Amino acid sequence: MNGTRINFPLILINFKCYREASGKRGLELARVAEQISRETGVCIAVAPQLTDLAFIASQVEIPVFSQHVDDVEPGSHTGHVTLEAIKDAGAVGTLINHSERRVRADQIDVVVKKARTLNLTTVVCTNTPEVTAAMAALGPDMVAIEPPELIGTGIPVSRAKPEVVTSSVELVRRVNPQVRVLCGAGITTGEDVAAALRLGTVGVLLASGVVKAKDWRKAIFDLIEPIIKK
Amino acid sequence: MNGTRINFPLILINFKCYREASGKRGLELARVAEQISRETGVCIAVAPQLTDLAFIASQVEIPVFSQHVDDVEPGSHTGHVTLEAIKDAGAVGTLINHSERRVRADQIDVVVKKARTLNLTTVVCTNTPEVTAAMAALGPDMVAIEPPELIGTGIPVSRAKPEVVTSSVELVRRVNPQVRVLCGAGITTGEDVAAALRLGTVGVLLASGVVKAKDWRKAIFDLIEPIIKK
Amino acid sequence: MNGTRINFPLILINFKCYREASGKRGLELARVAEQISRETGVCIAVAPQLTDLAFIASQVEIPVFSQHVDDVEPGSHTGHVTLEAIKDAGAVGTLINHSERRVRADQIDVVVKKARTLNLTTVVCTNTPEVTAAMAALGPDMVAIEPPELIGTGIPVSRAKPEVVTSSVELVRRVNPQVRVLCGAGITTGEDVAAALRLGTVGVLLASGVVKAKDWRKAIFDLIEPIIKK
Amino acid sequence: MNGTRINFPLILINFKCYREASGKRGLELARVAEQISRETGVCIAVAPQLTDLAFIASQVEIPVFSQHVDDVEPGSHTGHVTLEAIKDAGAVGTLINHSERRVRADQIDVVVKKARTLNLTTVVCTNTPEVTAAMAALGPDMVAIEPPELIGTGIPVSRAKPEVVTSSVELVRRVNPQVRVLCGAGITTGEDVAAALRLGTVGVLLASGVVKAKDWRKAIFDLIEPIIKK
């Protein structure tokens, strides 16, 4: 059991805006993840809906990420999400630039630099090897390559487009070897996770594969099975 | 004591992204508002930071608003805020189109129509009498006219630009008389609140006047003093 | 022949970003429209690609509109389009808020007010009767109701959703009777134009029905046939 | 005299939305640049207002750039600027991501890749060394580092922040040595241009220093003086 410390391989579950994981149900899913993490020692992190961030982060002992953060300072910014707010909410870090919520490179630059001073972990999502290399140049803790056309399909990037993952890993190594690489899109099984790790990543980012599963516990155990064996 | 029911005059306190009202301090401020509401019967609503919405709404018995909502359905919309999510979080409604987070008229149209079916209250912020009339045509529960140049100045709209408030009230009456009008910008004292009501509004939207006050309890009592007397 | 003066019924042809009407071909299409306008006296206006605006407006004697305008003053706004620039380019007015380029109500308010001082004509596009009413409250010269789901389909709004047009006309009459109503989406034939006029509009906004036609001259004559007869 | 071919050192004059260089006055300024380019052999390129692009590019024989381009294909995209449109307009390339018109990295990735197939030159503007490195990873022809706080000040980046330029040049060399570096912000004199070249750039991007000068011819000659001497 690792509490809110991040370690690898990392399984990062994005609740998106799925109603299956909204409000109290979001808390339940986070608790299932926490329970399995405790039982197995695998690092399972969650990114709940923005409006549930403090609610969930205050009640579970696993790493909780924000789904998005804005590049604004605390102050007069109604309707925005600051790094300070997610820290006060109990999050350990944030996704940024998800394909469903892209932001600009100069904004990511601001967020990555400031997150470092606040001890918050940044995971910048990307769509192509070139964009992955670009985002690695900004120095986040992790990048997460996700070909948007595979998101939500159940067809894993590791099988459909392994070369996107491997060339992302390779470019990141060249541009900024301290940045870790996750991959996502279509991940639903332990086999997908194992393939992702073989391709050079340190974990996966996934959403519907867990959130929309009928049995959350079973879905997560399926995913982490190859990691536990190790 | 009215619980989470909205009634009028309404004092709506927007926490913006002020760190003074983030996380646990946000909850404290909401509790101060709740306590005063209980003591006086005045309807005091709060709009906490997005990331604190469920955290705060699950712990206080006053109307809690979201600061913003997106026009998307539950689903694959990482980093967005749905009406369903704010309802699941325990909010009674939402601000939309605040000067610090403007959205498009077609998006407000979608949100207003859908909020009605979910029994959520909509408060559309505006900046000029013409935009106020336009937003009233979309049929929200309330509009809140706030000349942006006065926001955060401590110079109340009711004194600096009373004609903006009165012509907004008049245009709304002509376009859609069922829509209630709030006003905001520069509101800090009970006198400002009284003036706002005299100009034809049903209450005020304010932020720094309370959030940045050294003594929250005193600041809120100052504000509602003319309403209690009534 | 009316030169660049707008009169009604108005046929407004939007070139969008169609390559069929880009650069020199855009100029050719504008010249076809000019020729027919001269022959028939029908007011045919064009909205060329942004980058062709001055190029085309400087060479034809029909009303030329911008497809979009930003709410910024002349100055340090690289990559934006000012009202002053479109005036200097020779345009008589601008579309704003097209479904493919929506902007915010406060921005439209700024543009409409300023266009009036520059003697530029504003046509605000809308998608629902409620949004049409809202935009009419801002006082543009015209609104153009176009249900986005019909755009480019060849199924005319006047046949598929006549009630959207008639209730738009009715709401505009109530909110601001000085605003004229156009309709668009799926318009390709003279019958569609005649139907649009019967529903209370003063003309049509269309694009692919003309731009993508093999024979521009024939396509435009088809459209205006019922107007010439009158 | 080089016609529309780009060579180095490059002086790229951005007309922004300055009314001093709008419409016919924009054409005049482009003609002054053309004349001086002819007399001296120095490559002077211009980026006119979007609405003047075809108007100016069709009348001068120097490299003309768009100030911005969208990542959309030709088609139903009212109010957008496509790469095809700027090519049809006669431009040789485009600025993208100017501090006054930032776009997202995934959009720049699309534009850079496609511009290559259309033989259009891309200049990606940036604000910090890290963002410059990131944009170089996308493989544009040039990046242009411009600290936004110096833009329009007349205080040249080469004097106020030479380390921003040199570390940008160094990072680009490491990430993608084929990408050329321009710098901008506060450039007004020949000395500024000489300093920029000494710091490792291949030219400058500037705007008000020329556009707002009383005597365009004198302002440009001042700028290129150290290059002519060479």
Tens of pLDDT, residue by residue over C55-98, are 999 999 999 999 999 999 999 999 999 999 999 999 999 999 99
Contacts of C128 in chain B (CB under 8 A): 106, 109
Residue of C68, C77, C80, C98 marked active site: C98
- Is C133 in contact with B105 (Cβ distance < 8 A)? no
**Alpha carbon of C107: minimum distance to chain D alpha carbons (Å):** 15
- Is D138 in contact with A134 (Cβ distance < 8 A)? yes
- The structure tokens 């049903």 sit at B202
State mean pLDDT over B179-200.
92
Residue B8, pLDDT > 80, answer yes
Contacts of A76 in chain B (CB under 8 A): 16-18, 100, 151-152, 207-208
Indicate which residues of A carry an active-site annotation.
Answer: 98, 146
For C200-212, b/e burial (b = at least 16 CB within 10 A) is ebbbbbbbbbbbe
Nearest to B43 by CA among B61, B25, B21: B61
Evaluate whether chains C and A are touching (3 or more beta carbon pairs less than 8 Å apart). Answer: no
Give the chain D residue nearest C25 (alpha carbons).
D88
- Is D103 in contact with A106 (Cβ distance < 8 A)? no
Contact A209, A154 (CB under 8 A): yes
* Dist. CA D225–CA A196, nearest whole Å: 57
Alpha-carbon distance values, B115 to A7, B3, B16, B62, B96 (Å): 41, 20, 22, 19, 11
Nearest by CB to residue C53, choosing from D51, D66, D100, is D51
Nearest by CB to residue B81, choosing from A25, A50, A207, is A50
* Dist. CA D70–CA D73, nearest whole Å: 9
Tokens of A29: 């899913």
Residue A1, pLDDT > 50, answer no
pLDDT, tens digit, for every residue of C13-44? 999 999 999 999 999 999 999 999 999 999 99
pLDDT, tens digit, for every residue of D142-161? 999 998 888 778 888 888 88
Q: Which residue has the higher pLDDT, D156 or B35?
A: B35
* Dist. CA B95–CA B147, nearest whole Å: 16
Global pTM reads 0.95
State mean pLDDT over A197-212.
95
Nearest by CB to residue C130, choosing from B97, B137, B171, is B137
What is the percent of chain A with per-residue pLDDT over 90, rounded to a whole number?
87
pLDDT, tens digit, for every residue of B192-221? 999 999 999 999 999 999 999 999 999 999
Contact A40, B104 (CB under 8 A): no
Residue B230, pLDDT > 60, answer no
Query: What ipTM did this prediction achieve?
Result: 0.95
pLDDT, tens digit, for every residue of B85-114? 999 999 999 999 999 999 999 999 999 999
Report how many Cβ contacts below 8 Å link chain B to chain C.
75
State mean pLDDT over A90-114.
97
- Is C52 in contact with D53 (Cβ distance < 8 A)? yes
Alpha helices in A58-189 (DSSP H): 83-89, 105-117, 129-136, 157-160, 162-175
Evaluate whether chains D and C are touching (3 or more beta carbon pairs less than 8 Å apart). Answer: yes
pLDDT, tens digit, for every residue of A24-73? 999 999 999 999 999 999 999 999 999 999 999 999 999 999 999 999 99
Give the confidence band of C213 by pLDDT, cuts at 50, 70, 90: very high
Beta strands D10-14 and C142-145: pairing type? unpaired
Q: Which residue has the higher pLDDT, D93 or D146?
A: D93
* Dist. CA A197–CA A181, nearest whole Å: 10
The pLDDT value recorded for residue C148 is 82
Beta strands D43-47 and D65-66: pairing type? unpaired
**Alpha carbon of C157: minimum distance to chain B alpha carbons (Å):** 18
- Is B105 in contact with C134 (Cβ distance < 8 A)? yes
* Beta pairing partners, D230: none
Indicate which residues of B carry an active-site annotation.
Answer: 98, 146
Residue D188, pLDDT > 70, answer yes
Please give the mean pLDDT across all residues of chain B. Answer: 95
**Alpha carbon of B151: minimum distance to chain C alpha carbons (Å):** 16
Give the confidence band of C160 by pLDDT, cuts at 50, 70, 90: confident
Cβ–Cβ contact B103 with C under 8 A: yes
Does the annotation mark D163 as catalytic? Answer: no
Cβ–Cβ contact C49 with D under 8 A: yes
pLDDT, tens digit, for every residue of A150-195? 877 888 888 888 999 999 999 999 999 999 999 988 888 999 999 9
The pLDDT value recorded for residue C2 is 63
* Dist. CA A173–CA A133, nearest whole Å: 9
Q: C93 CB contacts (<8 Å, ≥6 apart)?
A: C6, C63, C65, C66, C115, C120, C121, C122, C123, C141
Residue C178, pLDDT > 90, answer yes
* Dist. CA A156–CA D165, nearest whole Å: 42
Size of chain C, expressed as the number of residues it contains: 230
Give the chain D residue nearest A139 (alpha carbons).
D130
Q: Count Cβ atoms below 10 Å from residue A17 Cβ, excluding itself.
A: 25
The pLDDT value recorded for residue D152 is 77
Give the confidence band of D53 by pLDDT, cuts at 50, 70, 90: very high
State mean pLDDT over C110-128.
97
**Alpha carbon of D142: minimum distance to chain A alpha carbons (Å):** 15
* Dist. CA A192–CA C98, nearest whole Å: 43
The pLDDT value recorded for residue A42 is 96
The pLDDT value recorded for residue B161 is 87
What is the percent of chain D with per-residue pLDDT over 90, rounded to a whole number?
87
The pLDDT value recorded for residue D97 is 97
Cβ–Cβ contact D46 with C under 8 A: no
- Is B131 in contact with C109 (Cβ distance < 8 A)? yes
The pLDDT value recorded for residue B158 is 84
**Alpha carbon of C16: minimum distance to chain B alpha carbons (Å):** 20
- Is B17 in contact with A76 (Cβ distance < 8 A)? yes
Best mutation site among A18, A71, A78, A92 for testing chain B: the one with the most B CBs within 10 Å? A78
- Is D128 in contact with A109 (Cβ distance < 8 A)? yes
* Dist. CA C34–CA D11, nearest whole Å: 40
- Is A104 in contact with D106 (Cβ distance < 8 A)? no
Give the chain B residue nearest A87 (alpha carbons).
B23
Contacts of C151 in chain D (CB under 8 A): 76
Cβ–Cβ contact D122 with A under 8 A: no
The pLDDT value recorded for residue B185 is 80
**Alpha carbon of C196: minimum distance to chain B alpha carbons (Å):** 23
Contacts of C101 in chain B (CB under 8 A): none
**Alpha carbon of D51: minimum distance to chain C alpha carbons (Å):** 5
Contacts of A134 in chain D (CB under 8 A): 105, 109, 134-135, 137-138
**Alpha carbon of A110: minimum distance to chain D alpha carbons (Å):** 10
Contact C45, C6 (CB under 8 A): yes
Give the confidence band of C159 by pLDDT, cuts at 50, 70, 90: confident
Evaluate whether chains D and B are touching (3 or more beta carbon pairs less than 8 Å apart). Answer: no
The pLDDT value recorded for residue D1 is 47
Touching B: A residues 157-216, CB under 8 Å: 207-208
Nearest to C115 by CA among C75, C71, C74: C71
Nearest to D61 by CA among D123, D120, D2, D122: D2
The pLDDT value recorded for residue B10 is 97
What is the percent of chain B with per-residue pLDDT over 70, rounded to a whole number?
98
Residue B1, pLDDT > 60, answer no
Best mutation site among A98, A100, A113, A175 for testing chain D: the one with the most D CBs within 10 Å? A175
Which helix (H) or strand (E) segment holds residue D143: the answer is strand D142-145
What is the percent of chain C with per-residue pLDDT over 70, rounded to a whole number?
98
Residue C207, pLDDT > 50, answer yes
Give the chain A residue nearest D103 (alpha carbons).
A104
Touching D: C residues 77-96, CB under 8 Å: 77-82, 84-86, 88-91, 95
State mean pLDDT over A146-152.
82
The pLDDT value recorded for residue B40 is 95
- Is D102 in contact with A103 (Cβ distance < 8 A)? no
Contact D185, D207 (CB under 8 A): no
